[in-house]
Chain A
Amino acid sequence: MTPVEWLLEPLQYAFMARALVVTLVAAVTCAILSCWLVQIGWSLMGDAVSHAVLPGVALSYILGLPFAVGAFVFGAGAVALIGGVRATTKIKSDAAIGVVFTALFAMGLVIISVTPSQTDLTHILFGNVLGVSDAEIAQVVVIGALASAILLVKRRDLTLFAFDRSHANAIGINTRWLSVLLLGLLALTVVVALQAVGIILVVAMLITPGATAYLLTKRFDRMIALAVVVTAVASLGGAYASFYLDVSTGGAVVLAQSAAFALAYLFGLRGGVVTSRVRVARARRLEAAS
């Protein structure tokens, strides 16, 4: 099989073509967002929102609404609840996050357990990218494009927010609004990503791309570009691998992203474990020679 055939073969199957579109849109949207999440330290927030959407997805199926509506309502609701608990008690931030998202996740499990069989828990939790409908694709593409566009248009403000909130305040930029914007976009992005890899693995899509790109560059704009390119290539690679190896698509996509992270960790320019050793050894040799 030539490489071109290898690439084209899966596209003959409509389900596979759809899966690749969803995977690509989800990977790119998550990659952009993840750059700010890892810099601000909101990784756990991503984990929380992704789990908290479960009751929303279940209720959407029951009520016959687009899944995105319920997921967004519960994602945004989780953010508001976490903020509320944090503001009104002295509970530490990670505990507030933990209490809220596990409560919502548990509520989702209970709702699904009393619902007739058309909602498949396994599909929601672990993703069912090979079974997405046309309506679901439309939602993913529209929401993904919207979230990516807003993130890129507001990228300089978001980076300022992540880097130095006090300066943003000092020049009259509303940091509360920026934080609401970013969390709202997080909820939207989770809606997209859960179609690709399922609720459990969404958090990987929200953290790994930013963490990988961070190891590769010292400039934020380049970090966004690298996150997008590396994650898109890795995710499509994972999806193709899942087709040929007949393994879980969501699992393969996340595993491919993790492999990209591992490569950056070992060989990255910014203190890669192997690159640093090589540099030190070379310096020592030069010193010994002189």
Chain B
Amino acid sequence: MTEPVVSLRGVSVRYGAVQALVDVSLELPAGRVVGLLGVNGSGKSSLFGAVMGTVPVETGLIRLFGGEPAAARKRNLVSYVPQSEAVDWDFPLSVWDVVMMGRYGRMGPTRRPRAEDRAATEHALERVGLLDLASRQIGELSGGQRKRVFVARGVAQEASLLLLDEPFAGVDKGSERTTIELLHGLRNEGKAILVSTHDLAGVPELCDEVVLLQRRVLFQGTPAEALVPETLALAFGGGVAGGVRVTG
């Protein structure tokens, strides 16, 4: 078997008195879309933070691509697509500028773009269907287009692991489909994709595998197995109606 892209063994994270993650063990293979499901406060952000190195791990071991996480980040293997609320959409940057930031890790210390960086940016924008909007300020895009700008940044970066935070919040149905197709294309190229969400819409279509998180890993399996009321109730409590929607 090949080396897993992400491997967590017995990872615990604690903020003061609050235990955010307890003994989490997980393996993410290449070429799969894995959904990380849980309510707000279930530790999804902490898990992302631990993988990104922004949240200190209390105990346990994290490996990316079989080695030190910091080394993988230095090699531009990890890309992060933030949730919409975390982005300043009024920032004076164009779509092109943001996607070009995906190349920064491959540039010299002044981050002056070379021809290959421009080509990669153009290719990434073409791939997500935003090339003709390249000069728009990022706030002048629809919800789905906004998401795709950051996916394009990961494509330009040539990352092998994509972490997406709430990719479907504020995205209409048509755009959701475009995004799912885009992510499936990337998966088929062998990229590992980890999607964190508390909204189950889109999950059965998008994900090959689902992890239910409630500070611990409650369940790991196929979406069909996960998205039945009995299993969902473990992570979401009783508020699950019809098996695919969380209310309240």
Interface pair A220/B82, CB less than 8 Å apart? no
| Complex CA distance for A162 and B87, rounded to whole angstroms | 11
Alpha-carbon gap, A197 to B82, bound state (A): 41
Decide if A153 is an interface residue (CB 8 Å cutoff). Answer: yes
Residue of chain A at shortest CB distance from B163: A170
Q: Which of B68-76, B121-129, B177-185, B198-206 contacts A (4 or more CB under 8 A)?
A: B68-76
B242 at the interface (CB under 8 A from A): no
A223 to B80, CA, bound (A): 27
Chain A 196-224 residues near chain B, CB threshold 8 A: 214, 217-220, 222-223
User: Is A163 at the interface (CB under 8 A from chain B)?
Assistant: yes
Distance to closest chain A CB from B207 (angstroms): 22
Q: Are B88 and A170 in contact (CB under 8 A)?
A: no
Q: Are the CB atoms of B93 and A220 closer together than 8 Å?
A: yes
Interface residues of A in 154-176 (CB under 8 A from B): 154, 156-157, 159-160, 162-164, 166-173
Interface flag for A39 (CB, 8 Å): yes
Given contacts A156-B111, A219-B93, A219-B94, contact A172 B88 (CB under 8 A): no
- Size of the chain A interface, CB-CB below 8 angstroms: 25
**Chain B, interface SS category:** mixed
Given A219-B97, A220-B93: A173 touches B104 (CB 8 Å cut-off)? yes
Distance A171 CA – B157 CA, assembled complex (angstroms) = 9
Q: Give bound CA distance, A169 to B78, whole Å.
A: 10
The answer to whether B92 touches A218 (Cβ under 8 A) is: yes
**Contact B92–A173 (Cβ < 8 Å):** no
Q: Are the C-beta atoms of A172 and B93 separated by less than 8 Å? A: no
* B80 engages A220 (CB within 8 Å): no
Q: How many chain B residues touch A (Cβ–Cβ < 8 Å)?
A: 32
Which chain A residues lie closer than 8 Å to B110 at the CB level? 153-154, 156
Q: Which of B105-129 contact A (CB under 8 A)?
A: 105, 110-112
Assembly CA distance A169 to B163 (angstroms): 13
Number of A-B contacts (CB under 8 A): 80
Q: Which residues does chain A contribute within 8 Å of B52, judged by CB atoms? A: 166, 169-170
B-chain residues with CB within 8 Å of residue A171 when the two chains form the complex:
73-74, 76, 78-79, 102, 104-105, 157
Asked if B247 lies at the interface with its beta carbon under 8 angstroms from chain A, I say no
- Docked complex Cα distance between A231 and B170 (Å): 39
The 8 A CB mask of A51-95 against B (1 = contact, 0 = none) is: 000000000000000000000000000000000000000000000
CA distance A223 to B153 in the complex (A): 23
- Which residues from chain B contact A168 at a C-beta distance below 8 Å? 104
Asked whether, in the complex, the Cβ of B111 is within 8 Å of the Cβ of A170, the reply is: no
B38 to chain A, nearest CB (A): 19
Instruction: Given A156-B110, A167-B101, verify A218-B74 contact (CB < 8 Å).
Output: no
Chain A contacts of B80 at CB under 8 A? 166-167, 169-170
B2 in contact (CB, < 8 A)? no
Select A169's contact among B54, B87, B97, beta carbons within 8 Å: B54
Are B104 and A156 within 8 A (Cβ)? yes
In the docked arrangement, what's the CA distance between A84 and B225, Å? 49
Interface string of B79-92 (1 = CB under 8 A from A): 11010001110011
Contacts of B231 in A (CB 8 A): none
Out of A157, A162, A169, name the residue touching B53 (CB < 8 Å).
A169
**B175 touches A (CB below 8 Å):** no
In the bound complex, CA of A160 to CA of B101 (Å):
7
State A156–B91 Cα separation when bound (angstroms): 14
Residues of B within 8 A of A169 (CB): 52-54, 73, 80
Show the binding face of B for A, using Cβ within 8 Å.
Answer: 52-54, 70, 73-76, 78-80, 82, 86-88, 91-94, 97-98, 101-102, 104-105, 110-112, 137, 153, 157, 163
Nearest first, the 7 closest Cβ-Cβ pairs linking A and B are A171-B105, A172-B74, A156-B111, A218-B137, A172-B73, A170-B80, A220-B92
Q: Could you list some 11 contacts between A and B, CB below 8 A?
A: A39-B92, A154-B110, A156-B110, A156-B111, A160-B111, A166-B80, A169-B52, A170-B80, A171-B157, A172-B74, A173-B105
Contacts A159-B93, A163-B93 known; 18 new A-B pairs at CB < 8 A: A154-B110, A156-B112, A163-B101, A166-B86, A167-B101, A167-B102, A171-B73, A171-B76, A171-B79, A171-B157, A172-B73, A172-B75, A173-B105, A214-B92, A217-B92, A220-B97, A222-B92, A223-B92
